[in-house]
């Protein structure tokens, strides 16, 4: 009634009346539907996937209390959220439960939307490691803007590939990046811009950082040393040594 009062023509359908997405496709074509609003992420939302019309989702209690705990349904619901333009939760607790289950799809959608509006920014999907390393080698620098890190594999890979590193100054990053020695650390966007421009204009600094970073990785993150260490640790589990 609210939507019709605003001038929209609405068709109300029960999801239980449809057995497959193809039946929804026929409905969309027959009624010339321009958008859809589904109640229940799984029950209604799954039927709207792949039809190339914008749709939104209204969470139901069944979504977060029951269906989310079933593996296959949970996966389908996450994919529905990736396509949905928005999702509505009736309570703050329901919103928090949904975010805990499917925060990645929601975040992914937000990132993709911002990238589309940002000039000069490209979002590249997953790729084989060899291809990824080839791309990184052709980059001017690798940026790590994480707000939390244990030990960033991306930073270590960049150092090993001889690519300069610009990283947010957080404990995990600062543990492997020494400012102006093995990389550059920034604390805010303004500092990042300043350091990036400095790196661009100072080839000597770039060369020094690259050399130090490569040496740091080879000295403290050697594959050979790591392999030998884990072999020794596993031997302890097997009872082959008392050391």
Residues 170, 147 contacting (CB under 8 angstroms): yes
With 0-12 CB in 10 A as exposed, 13-18 as middle and 19+ as buried, what is 243?
A: exposed
* pTM greater than the 0.85 cutoff: no
Looking at the chain, the whole-number percentage of residues with pLDDT higher than 70 is 96
Q: How do strand 142-144 and strand 165-168 relate by DSSP bridges?
A: parallel
Count other Cβ atoms within 10 Å, centred on residue 89: 18
DSSP secondary structure letter of residue 143: E
- What tokens appear for 221 in the block? 């993150």
Kindly report the average pLDDT of the chain as a whole number. 87
- What tokens appear for 242 in the block? 């008392």
Mean pLDDT within 49-58: 85
- What tokens appear for 214 in the block? 């490569």
pLDDT by residue (tens digit) across 204-218?
999 999 999 999 999
pLDDT by residue (tens digit) across 135-144?
999 999 999 9
pLDDT by residue (tens digit) across 70-116?
878 878 888 888 888 888 888 888 788 777 777 866 677 778 888 98
Residues 167, 177 contacting (CB under 8 angstroms): yes
Domains of the chain: 2-107 (3.40.50.2000), 128-228 (3.40.50.2000)
Please tell me which residue, 230 or 187, carries the higher pLDDT value.
187
Long-range contacts of 172-175 (CB under 8 A, 24+ apart): 172/146, 172/148, 173/144, 173/146, 173/149, 175/151
Looking at the chain, the whole-number percentage of residues with pLDDT higher than 90 is 35
DSSP letters for 199-233 = HHH-HHHHHHHHHHHHHHHHHHS-HHHHHHHHHHH
Count other Cβ atoms within 10 Å, centred on residue 21: 14
Distance CA 152, CA 166 (A): 12
Count Cβ neighbours within 10 Å for each residue of 115-152 and write b for 16 or more, e otherwise: eeeeeeeeeeeeeeeeeebeebeeeebbbbeeeebeeb
- What tokens appear for 213 in the block? 């970073």
- What angle (nearest 5°) sits at the alpha carbon of residue 206, between those of residues 202 and 212? 145
pLDDT by residue (tens digit) across 129-169?
999 999 999 999 999 999 888 889 999 999 999 999 999 99
């Amino acid at each position: 009634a609210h939507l019709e009062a605003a001038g929209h023509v609405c068709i109300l359908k029960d999801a239980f009346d449809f057995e497959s997405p193809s039946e929804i496709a026929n409905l969309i074509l027959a009624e010339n539907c321009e958008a859809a609003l589904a109640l229940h992420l799984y029950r209604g939302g799954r039927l709207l996937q792949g039809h190339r019309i914008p749709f939104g989702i209204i969470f139901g209690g069944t979504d977060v209390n029951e269906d989310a705990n079933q593996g296959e349904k949970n996966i389908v619901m996450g994919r529905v959220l990736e396509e949905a333009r928005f999702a509505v939760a009736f309570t703050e607790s329901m919103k928090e439960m949904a975010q805990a289950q499917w925060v990645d799809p929601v975040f992914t959608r937000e990132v993709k939307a911002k990238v589309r509006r940002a000039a000069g920014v490209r979002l590249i999907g997953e790729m084989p490691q060899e291809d990824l390393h080839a791309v990184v080698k052709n980059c001017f620098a690798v940026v790590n803007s994480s707000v939390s890190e244990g030990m960033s594999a991306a930073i270590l890979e960049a150092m090993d590939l001889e690519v300069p590193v610009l990283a947010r100054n957080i404990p995990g990053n600062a543990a492997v990046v020494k400012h102006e020695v093995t990389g550059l650390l920034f604390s805010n966007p303004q500092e990042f811009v300043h350091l990036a421009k400095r790196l661009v204009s100072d080839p000597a600094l770039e060369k020094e950082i690259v050399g130090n970073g490569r040496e740091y990785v080879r000295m403290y993150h050697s594959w050979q040393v790591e392999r030998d260490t884990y072999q020794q640790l596993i031997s302890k589990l097997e009872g082959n040594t008392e050391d």
